[in-house]
Structure formats: C-alpha cells, structure tokens
Amino acid sequence: MTTQFRLAGRTVATGLQFPEGPVVMADGSVVLVEIARGTLTRVHPDGRTSVIANLGGGPNGAAIGPDGMFYVCNNGGFNWTREADGLFRPHGRADHYIGGRIQRVDPESGRFEDLYTQCDGIPLKGPNDIVLDGKGGFWFTDLGKVYGRLMDRGAVYYARTDGSLIREAVFPLITPNGIGLSPDGSTLYVAETEPARLWAFPITGEGTVAKDPFPSPHGGKLVAGLPGYRRFDSLKVEAGGNICVATLITGGVSVISPAGDWLEFHEANEPYCTNVAFGGAGLRKLYVTLSGFGNLLEVDWPRAGLQLPGQKVPA
C-alpha cells in the first residue's frame, strides 16, 4: 500500500520561468535551468537569482562534472501557453527550434560550447535529462519533440565529457525523460513520461546495456507502471536505492523501490512537479521544481539521497 504525504517545506525562489534540472551546490545555492528563459541560473540561498549563461533554445536537464563544468541537455526550445489559472506550460516544438544539443558550460565565465548535436548522423531532437557516471561519461535521454500530428520516438545515449564519443544505447522509447543510476552504478533507470513507466537496464560497458528479449519494446526490464492518469518527469535515486520520480498531472514525487513497489507519494500543490535533487547536510534535503508556477521548494526528506559524481556535500 502506498503511503501518502504532502510536500511541505520552504519556498526558496518564486517567479522562475519553468525551472528544471536543479543541482544543489555545497554553498547552499541551487543551479538550475529556466527553460522558457533559455538560461542556466543560480538561485542563492536567500532566493536571489543570477544568470550564469544564456544558452538559448530550451535548456533542460543539468549536471555538474568533476571538472566543475555544467553539462546541460538542451531540447531546442518549446512554444508556451498559459492557462486561465496562471499555470505556464510547454506546448509543442518551438517555432524557432534550434535543434537538440548537449552543452558544456563554464560557470565562472558563462562561456559554453555545443559538445554534441548528433549521433552517427542522426540529429539530437530533444535532450532532456542527464546523469554522470563518474568514469568520464554521462547517460542522457532524448525525449524527442511533438510537432503538428507527429511525435519523435525517443532514445537513451551515452557520451564522454571530453566530446570524443557518443553512442546510442537504447531505442525506441516513448518520451524518455528521467534518468539515474543505482547506488552501485550497475543499473540504469529510465522514466518514460507519457506511459508513466520506469525501466531498468543492467550496464555492461561504456554506453552499453543488457537487453531483455521481446516482448520488451526496447530491452528494458519494467520496474513499475503506475495506475491512473499521471506522467513521469525527472528522477533521482536515494542512497538506499529507492527511485524518486517527479510525477506530473497528479503533481508530486513517487518513491519506487528497485523491486517495483510504489512505496510513497508526496503530493505537491501543482501538476507540474518536474524535477528533484538532493542536497544539504547528509543529503537529507530534497529540492523540487514546481515549474508551472515557477517555484523552487526545499523539503526535509525522510532518507538520504545518493551523492552524484561531481557533487560536493556540506559537512
């Protein structure tokens, strides 16, 4: 039986332009993207914001490397719509879509470069979320784009941080979004947005995974698929191995065990609960982007999060 909670905590910042990809820094600041603004932005502990870089397009997932650089999935841009109640949300591929790309950003100077724009001649369509493996590379999802009556099929890629290799690891997926690694680094987790499914892939090498045979649609092992109308977004993994998936429509954080048990649901106060990240002493704070109304929330979490490669934790 799923235990229900309410996400209650401190609102760190308001007025953000569809924030996602939070990275919690040792000084208490949070670096995130503002997708609608096209920026990599630092939110200071007192709620002030400062722009690190104007990346254009639609910066989405973000991660910090051991080199101190930020690696950003840029989805190329969305069009936007605002609902009657003020909720702000993406709406299809941007009229001025710049193409998908992985960008490397120097947080000190704000300079950035496009590290990858294609794989084996296939353009990246809508890179979404990213996790570094601590071995000189990273995994990322390409959700694809929706345009008119068409929708791209998505994929998972692996790439090196030095720009020397990119490899397609999994295809096809339906709107792959959140991505993370098990605490021992042996399993890759991927969340699909539209079906609200969580998949697992055993990692076998640099950018390679073991795959189950048919009827798996892409070789993944189904961990969980939740009932009712909800959609999955980004995810993070706890130190003990549970997977925390930001959940849309119902709005909140779903906690799923590696065995597939839906342990907890932490309900948010809006439907666009998009991304989560662990920070603070002992990684016992969860930072949540509530993107539709532009807020960043800090909550006490009942368990410690997994420390990510490149992440520095306060004593």
Q: Nearest 5°: phi and psi at 283?
A: 55, 45
Residues 6+ apart with CB under 8 A from 181: 131, 133, 139, 187, 188, 189, 203, 237
Closest CA to 34 of 291, 307, 232: 291
- The pLDDT tens digits of the residues spanning 171-196 come to 999 999 999 999 999 999 999 999 99
The whole-number pLDDT of residue 232 equals: 98
Strands across the sheet with 154-160, in order?
127-132, 137-142, 154-160, 166-173
Per residue in 121-152, pLDDT (tens digit) is 999 999 999 999 999 999 999 999 999 999 99
- Predicted confidence (pLDDT) per residue in 52-85, tens digit: 999 999 999 999 999 999 999 999 999 999 999 9
Percent residues over pLDDT 70 in the chain? 100
Please give the CATH topology (third level) of the domain spanning 12-232: Neuraminidase (2.120.10)
- pLDDT score of 313: 86
Lookup: tokens for 72: 């950003």
148 C-beta neighbours (distance < 10 Å), count: 7
Region 142-171: mean pLDDT is 98
Residue 110 has pLDDT above 80, yes or no: yes
Category of 195 on φ-ψ map: left (φ > 0), alpha (ψ -120 to 50) or beta: alpha
Decide if 171 contacts 218 (C-beta within 8 A): yes
Tens-digit pLDDT profile for residues 25-51: 999 999 999 999 999 999 999 999 999
User: Does residue 1 or residue 134 have the better pLDDT?
Assistant: 134
Confidence grade of residue 315 (pLDDT, cut at 50, 70, 90): low
| Residue extents of the structural domains in the chain | 12-232
- Mean per-residue pLDDT for 269-291? 97
Residues 6+ apart with CB under 8 A from 194: 174, 175, 231
